[in-house]
A = this chain, B = another copy of it.
Amino acid sequence: MTVIRDFSHLHCDLSPITDSSPYEVRRAQELNNLLGLKGSTDATDMICDLHNTTSNMGLTLIRYTSSDWVTLHICKYLQTKITKVPVRVLVLDVPISDAHNLESVSKHGFTLEIGPQPHGVVRADIYIIMKEAVDLTIDWIHKFNSGTVFEGGDVEAFKFIKSVDYPRDPETRTLTAAIHPQLQDRDFCLLKQGDPLFFKFSGETVKYEEEETLHPFFINEAAYYEKGIAFHLGKKLTLKIPTVQVQKD
């Protein structure tokens, strides 16, 4: 197991590296050479990219495709073992060429996202759950490699649909509202027409106007202010996974 202490997203710009290439692009290509190549048969079997967030995301396994049964089986396994926080799967369903996170370099990897934890702070409760999740993921791999049969079935997942920005002043682009107290910390709740989204600094409430019920997540993540994201919206899916057992030689 290789531990890569690099939590930045992997922007795999494959243009030639020059002295003026930004550090992130250079590091992305180094990691791709070390652990990939992305999309090739030589790529690492699995990378877990460990992230934390100010959002109340519990423990969320994020994968760029809904068709990877390894992530889904590991999620199911973690759900039976971890009870202190909810364990969920989030799928992005984008082509591999548009998947920029570190785990997309590997064949069956995922981001392990955990929160809430402020940036620049270590919370022991969060640390302990993340360690448990990593230990259990390694457990699952050992069991799978030793021939254990993992039963298939249904796995609930959330699929990314779109992002929502904060209300902003049309001229200055500064924020005119914060996440509404009734939405704050309620990641993955069901959002219905009329539910409060934002608390305007003028005192008014901005409500959810759409007819489709969706699930918000990454609510009030510190790093997303500059990206123009107050939260993402997703749809709940039920995915089927096969019963699996390793093929022995």
Binding site for B on A (CB under 8 A): 54, 116-125, 127-128, 175, 178-181, 184, 199, 201, 220, 222-223, 225
Contacts and interface: CB of A to CB of B under 8 A. Distances in A.
B54 A124 contact: no
Contact of A122 (B117, B125, B178): B178
B184 A125 contact: yes
A123 B222 contact: no
Contact of A121 (B54, B122, B125, B181): B54
A127 to B, nearest CB: 6
Nearest to A131: B201
Contacts of A128: 181, 199
B124 A179 contact: yes
15 contacts: A54-B118, A118-B118, A118-B119, A118-B222, A119-B120, A121-B220, A122-B175, A122-B178, A122-B220, A123-B181, A124-B178, A125-B181, A125-B184, A127-B199, A127-B201
Contact of A222 (B121, B179, B184): B121
A205 B178 CA distance: 38
Nearest to A116: B118
Contacts of A118: 54, 116-119, 121, 222
B199 A124 contact: yes
Given A128-B181, A178-B127, A119 B119 contact: yes
Given A119-B119, A119-B222, A222-B118, A124 B181 contact: yes
Contacts of A225: 120
Contacts of A54: 118, 120-121
In the A-B complex, the 5 residue pairs with the closest CB atoms: A118-B118, A120-B222, A124-B199, A124-B178, A122-B178
Nearest to A126: B178
Contacts of A222: 118-121
A107 to B, nearest CB: 31
Nearest to A221: B121
A208 to B, nearest CB: 16
Contacts of A127: 178, 199, 201
